[in-house]
Structures are given as structure tokens and as C-alpha cells.
Structure 1
Amino acid sequence: MSGATKAQRWVLALSSLASFIVVLDMLVVATALPAIQRDLGASLEDLEWTVNAYTLSFAVLLMTGSALGDRYGRRRVFALGLGLFAAASAACALATQAGALIAARAVQGGGAALIMPVALGLLNGAFPPERRGWATGIYGSVTGLAAIAGPILGGVVTQHLAWQWIFWLNVPIALAAIPFVLGRIAEVRGPGGALDLPGLVLAAGAALGVTWALVRGNAAGWGSAEIVSTLAGGIVLGGLFLLRELRTATPMLPLRLFRSPAFSAGNAAVFFVNASLTSAVFFTAQFQQVALGHGPVQAGLRLLPWGIAPFLIAPRAGALTDRIGERRLVVAGTLLLGIGMGWIALISGPGIGYAPTAVAMTVGGVGFSLALPAVTRSVVSRVAPPDIGRASGTFSTLRQLGGAFGVALTGAVFASAGGYGTARLFSDGYVPAMAVAAALAFAATAAGLVLPGHLRIRQAAPVQSRASASS
């Protein structure tokens, strides 16, 4: 952390730790899904909701978390989120039915929603614009470490202990971080203002309606009253949410920010990138076990290529973004991500060897590593300092909504073509699901092409440097 002050190092370390446990909790579940299915008698729909209950509540409440941080203090909300995350993790571990696990996961996502936007807001405010690429690169490398550790740790714990312990692991980490957050980070507030509660309700309803339709479509029938009404309701509520945000004086989502091509295209790109990668991890961890017959530990180890690349490349990619701009890295990275996913779709089957899959995963992992720091910088580095909190919240919201959308969409494709009955049946669903994951990555490429060319950001004093230095 050469060149960073002590206060900046603490902000970077604690925000990275927060990202680590939140991402770890997303990925540690992946290799445990077959065990959860067997132990709780869960269906494919239950497994999807085990992932999506977390990501949906996370996504829908992120902007509320950001607004609470601006109003009541980011440090305070950060600590509160860690406490809620720890309590919900314990509830997940104690669940004895799929419904109870899904409910606890939803609360856990709410805790993550309090943690992530304020952590990212603190990070971006602590470093000046010309150093944010470096800082977000370090932050991304720690997230990459969670991507490496998550599936392996989930496999080891599930195979040698029990799947419940994947949730118990979060509790001591989150609780241990709280005193450091309160003692080492200076309190920072944003513009503040009243919370947009009607906007929150409309956003939650829109996200839930669309995701419910995608998850339930195959089981209930795409032309059924349930699916048509929930999908139409989600779309209508989404439109009402946008109208609300245009008219209210205290919007959750300041639509004026989307006038910036960098902000709009960057958010679209991260939505599709996360949709692609999250859905691929969700199904590939199961493919390794159900179709190829590997145990949870082997399945976790075989996902390593997706985690190693972000850990090794993200810090360098962040610094490179500072020099050459976002568009080139986003376009190149998302193209590689799409090629990697499409390659897996082309070669996969019940008898596939590991080497070709590992190469394809590595290509996709390198692509993700190049794209994510650049996308992050495009969204947060060109907004005014008072908007950093809401910009960070919007970015994190769309990233998590992308993950929920990707799992729901590829789940619908999987269910229409395959199932869990045999290795061949699972493979029949897995291949088209991965083809959709590739298409989602290429949609991110299209968004990346809209990003503006490289614009050097003038050096400026960090927004929080004086306040943070006193901590």
C-alpha cells in the first residue's frame, strides 16, 4: 500500500474484508447446493431461491443502505450491517427446512446491503480520483481471493463437516471486524435527506415480480395466470418506480446520473457481467458433482481458474485502467468472458475431461479480471463528490440484480432442456444454460462499446482525506 496514509490503509483493508465475506458467502454456497438439496429435500426452484433470496434483498436494499449511510453516517451503518450479517448467517446455519433457509438468506442479503455501498463509498471517498483505480484494483483482488476460497471452502466444509458450517464461518469474521470499523474509520456523512420509502417498495416489487416469473415459469407454465401477472406486475412497478424517481425530491436512484454515458454504460456492463458469471458458477459447481460425479472438494477445486485470475490480475488491471481508460479494458475483458463461457457450452458433456474446461475458465476469468475494475472506475470516478455514495449504491444494486437475473434466466433455460435425474439429463440443461451465460457476457461487450474514450482525471485532494487523517 505504498503511498497510502494510515487512515486510507484502514479504509481499504476493512472495505476489502467486507467485500470478501459478502462475496465468499455467495460462492461458498455453490458447492454445497447438492448437499442442501439432499438434506432439506430442496427442488431446483428452492436452490435458485437460496441464491436469489440473498441477491434480491441485497440488490433491492442496497440504495437504501447507501441512503442510510449518507444520513446517519457510513461508519455506523457499516458496523450495523456487519452485525446483521453475522446474525443472519447463524440463522442460515440453524435452518432445518428450505423455506427457513431462504428466509434467513433474505435477511443475510439485507445485512450485505448495509455493508457494501457504504464500504465502497468510504473507499472511493478516501482516495483521490487518480488513485481510485489502484485502490479498487486491490479491493478487486481481495474479492478475487473470495472467489478462489469460496467454492473450495464450501466443498471442504460440506464434505468433511456439514453444509451448515459454511454459514457459521461468517459469524466470527463479521463480529471481529466491528470494533475496528468503529475505532479506525472516521465517521462520514453524505448529503442525507429523507428516505424514499415508496421508491423502495416499488423497486422491491419490480425486482421480485420479474425474478419470480423467471424462476417459476417452467413449473407453473409460461402462459399461466401466475407468471403473466407477476411478470406484468414487475414491469409495471418498474415503470412506476422510474416515474417516482423522476418526481421525488429525495430519489433512491438519481436518474440524472444516467445522463453520463460512462455511468449508464458502466452500470449496464456490470449488470450483464455479473449475470453471466453468477449463473455460470451456480450451474458449473453442480455440473461437476451431478454430471461428472466429483465430490464437493473436487468440484470446488475445479472452479479455481475463475478465482485465480481475478486475484492475480485485478490489481494490475486497476492501475492499467488509470493509464488507458475504461472502454478498452471493458470491451476486451467482456469479449474474453463471453468466449470462455461459449467455449464451455461447446465442449461440455458427461465425459468431458478437465483440461479443456480449465482453459476455457481461465480465459473467462482473465476477461472478468480486466473488465471489473474498469467498469467500477467508469461509474464512480466521474461523479461529483456528493454523489459518490448513491453512485456506489446504484452500481452495487445493478451488479447484484444482474446476478439474480442471470441465475433466474439460465435456470429457466436449464429446466426447459434438462434436470437432475441423470448425468446426461443435467448436461442437456447445462449446455444451453452456459450458452445463455455467454450471450449475457457479449451484451456487456455491447454496453462497453458505449463508454467514452480515455479521459485523464486531474489529481485532486481526497474527499475524506482530512477527516480520515484524524482517525
Structure 2
Amino acid sequence: MTFRTQASITWLLCACCFASIASMRACDTLLPAIGAEFAASTGEAARTVYTFAIAYGVFQLCFGPLGDRYGKLRIIALCALACVIGNGLAFLAAGLDQLVLARILSGACAAGIFPLAMAWIGDNVPYETRQTVLARLVGASVTGVLAGQWLSGLIAQWSDWRHTFLALAAAFLGAGGLLLKAALDGSRQRHAAAPALPARQALREILASPTARSILTVTSIEGALAFGALAFIPSALQRHHDVSLSMAGGIAACYGIGGFVYARLAARLLRSLGEPGLALLGGLMLCAGFVSLAYAPTLALTPLACALAGFGFYGLHNTLQTQATQMAPAARGMAMSLFACVLFLGQSVGVMAAAWVADHGRDTWVFALAGAGLLALSLEVARRTRARQQHA
């Protein structure tokens, strides 16, 4: 595969990942409009958010083996094209139940995009430059979060909330169609050196590996701490600084801006610090950001605190992503789907645990505990990475 071809496919993968993450976050801002359309409360309209998330998490493990067996690019492209149907049905929904079913379909199909994109990069990009390429997917996902939350609000304000799903369908159609064309061209694919393992055998081998178990365990804890705290940023800003919900959401979005800055600087940082140093830097910035959010004396400091936390999270997580691509070279689709699954499960547990802490103590504890825990986690990741490199 030529460099130009690899770069073209990478950008198409970024486009598919952008659309999938934008689709995940598209209803966040639309809940009042959806509720008004269907005479439902905001809580009832929120079914469009959490049913998508449940489907996205449940179906993670389904697409990994399919990608290993039939080709990762082909499965990603078909998932993207299936999302066209899901978003088209959302555009046409005549009732809230129909919209929820359309969102479930979209979430189930979107689940196959990001993990298999990471797996394809693992198959086709040398390890030395893999983290830099994976950082482009990080940038695409962060941009998708911002677009899903911000542009959907603009579309709803100036047109109709349904047009958000029409725009998403168009994005999936363009990216998925071009990627399918590339996937069907056999000369554009480079298969992994090792043959794909049967799904059950692959899962057993991954879980039998101490290195894989370590990465998966750390990733689940990372998801619990980081996303458990992230979920409470807007409410904490409202409670402690008396800001509007829209301003609180805008400040929280600086978390994504920090991630976008990281994606732009990833190659330079990796050359300067190496994997252990980048993981440690991520933990330090996560700790600084979350502890600052817990005890920020003025509102002016909170956007910077969110940006620091976002930069740090993606620095640490991108390191774990890169290491996860080596967990099972003969079954990277399964490995990356499992990686995404434990991250999702960690998020769910983290939000529930953070809610309990906030209800039984103070929400500042959520951020302080997350910052300290993530710093300790990054120290362990840096130590293990350094030890593995010395023994390589």
C-alpha cells in the first residue's frame, strides 16, 4: 500500500469516526426541541441519548470478529452506510418511540466504526508512527463531539431539529460510500500477516495475556475516573459559580478543545517525551485540571481547567490505544472492540459511582478523587511502558 493510499483511507476513517461521534452527541442539545415536538418531558426525550449509548456499548463486541473475518474497511463502510438508514428514519420519525428505535439502530451500527478504525491502523501503520496516526482519530472524535453538541443546536435554532439527522445521514453516506469503494478495491488493502483467529479463541487468548489484561484493566479504571468526573462538570459549574446551563455546557466543551490541541501536538510530544513521558504528562495535566475544577476560586479559571483535563485525558488514552493495538495482532478487530467495550463499561460505572459520591458528600470530591486517581494511574502506565521497552 502506498503512503498516499494509506493517508487517503486514514482520512476517510477519520470522517467516519467524526460522523459516528457526532451522531452519538447529536441529541444532547436537541432534547427540549424533541420534547416539545412530541409533547414529552426532557427525561422522556433523553431516551434518544441513553438508548443510543446502550446499543453502542452492547454491539461493540459484535463487529470486531466480523472485521477480522471479512475485512475491517468493508465492515466500517457498511456500518457507516447502515447509519444512513438509522438517521434517515430519525428524520422521518412520526413519534418519540419511532425516534428512539431509529437511534437504537444508529447506535448499534456506529459501534463498529471507531474500534475497527483503530484496528485497521494497527494492521497497516508501523508501531513507531502509530500513535501519531491514532491521534488523528482522536481529533476526529473530539471534533465530532463539538459538532454534535453545537451544530445540532444551531440547526435546530435556525431550521428544524430533524435536519440534524439529515446532515448526519449525508455525512455517513459520503464517507461510507467512498470507504466502501476503497475496501472493494483489493489493491488498496493490506492484510495482517497472521490469519484471523476464530472469535472465541481470540477472546480467550486476549484475556489469557497478562499484558492485555493490564491494558484492559487500566482502561476501564481510566474511563471510570475521567468520564465519571466529566459528567458532573456542568452541574458543578452551575452550583458553585451560578452560571446558566448554556454557559456551563460551553465551559465543559473546553475539555474537547484540550483534546483537539493534543491531537495537533501529538507527533511532536511523542518525539520529545516518548510513550512513558506522554502518559505521565497526561496524568499530571488530568490531575491539575480536575483538582483546579474542584477548588477553582473564580469562574475565569474553569475553562483552562477543563482544557487541561481534556488534553491530559487524550494524552494518556492515546497511549493506551496504541498499546492496545498490539494486544492481539492476529485478531485486532476483536481486541479493539474489547478495548472500547471496557472503556464504555468503565464510563458507566464511573458515572454511577460519582453520582453516589456527589449525593453523599460534595461534588468537589468527585474531581479531586478523579485527579489523584488518574495521576496514580498514569504513573503506573509510565512505569510498565518503560519496563516493557527496556525488555524489548
**TM-score normalised by the shorter chain: which range applies?**
0.7 to 0.9
- Is the 8 Å Cα contact of residues 87 and 106 (structure 2) preserved in structure 1? yes
Q: Which residue of 1 aligns with 2:304?
A: 359
Residues 1:179 and 1:107: Cα distance change in structure 2 (over 3 Å): closer
Residues in 2 aligned to 1:97 and 1:50: alpha-carbon distance in whole angstroms: 12
- Is the 8 Å Cα contact of residues 410 and 437 (structure 1) preserved in structure 2? no
Question: Shift in Å at residue 192 of structure 1?
Answer: 4.1
Q: Which residue of 2 aligns with 1:134?
A: 132
- Is the 8 Å Cα contact of residues 63 and 393 (structure 1) preserved in structure 2? yes
Residues 1:83 and 1:404: Cα distance change in structure 2 (over 3 Å): farther
Question: Shift in Å at residue 18 of structure 1?
Answer: 1.6
- Code of the residue aligned with 2:303 in structure 1: it is A
1:447 paired to 2:377:
yes
Question: Shift in Å at residue 401 of structure 1?
Answer: 2.7
Residues in 2 aligned to 1:311 and 1:144: alpha-carbon distance in whole angstroms: 6
Question: Shift in Å at residue 374 of structure 1?
Answer: 1.6
Question: Once the two structures are aligned, what percentage of the paired residues are identical?
Answer: 23
For residues 313-352 of structure 1, the aligned pairs below 5 Å read 313-321=262-270, 324-346=273-295
Question: Shift in Å at residue 163 of structure 1?
Answer: 3.1
Which range is displaced more, 26-35 or 54-63? 26-35
TM-score, length-normalised on structure 2?
Answer: 0.81
For residues 417-436 of structure 1, the aligned pairs below 5 Å read 432=363, 435-436=365-366
Pick one of 97, 107, 110 that aligns with 2:108. 110
For residues 81-160 of structure 1, the aligned pairs below 5 Å read 81-95=79-93, 97-160=95-158
Q: State the number of aligned residues.
A: 380
1:8 paired to 2:1:
no
Residues 1:402 and 1:165: Cα distance change in structure 2 (over 3 Å): farther
Deviations 1:159-202 (A, max 9, x none): 2233333322210011112232122343466644555xxxxxxx
Residues in 1 aligned to 2:347 and 2:35: alpha-carbon distance in whole angstroms: 21
Residues in 2 aligned to 1:164 and 1:116: alpha-carbon distance in whole angstroms: 25
Cα-Cα RMSD: 3.7
Question: Shift in Å at residue 446 of structure 1?
Answer: 3.6
Question: Shift in Å at residue 260 of structure 1?
Answer: 4.2
1:263 paired to 2:215:
yes
1:308 paired to 2:260:
no
1:272 paired to 2:224:
yes
Which range is displaced more, 298-307 or 66-75? 298-307
Quick check: which one's helix share is greater? 2
- Is the 8 Å Cα contact of residues 305 and 361 (structure 1) preserved in structure 2? yes
- Code of the residue aligned with 1:453 in structure 2: it is T
Residues 1:55 and 1:406: Cα distance change in structure 2 (over 3 Å): farther
Residues in 2 aligned to 1:48 and 1:7: alpha-carbon distance in whole angstroms: 41
Q: Which residue of 1 aligns with 2:334?
A: 390
1:57 paired to 2:79:
no
Q: Which residue of 2 aligns with 1:28?
A: 26
Residues in 2 aligned to 1:52 and 1:189: alpha-carbon distance in whole angstroms: 36
Deviations 1:302-356 (A, max 9, x none): 44422222212224235534653434433442443344344435459xxxx7523
For residues 214-229 of structure 1, the aligned pairs below 5 Å read none
Residues in 2 aligned to 1:396 and 1:408: alpha-carbon distance in whole angstroms: 19
SS in 2 for 1:400: helix
SS in 1 for 2:59: helix
- Is the 8 Å Cα contact of residues 212 and 324 (structure 2) preserved in structure 1? no
Residues 1:444 and 1:345: Cα distance change in structure 2 (over 3 Å): closer
1:167 paired to 2:165:
yes
1:401 paired to 2:333:
no
Residues in 2 aligned to 1:95 and 1:406: alpha-carbon distance in whole angstroms: 33
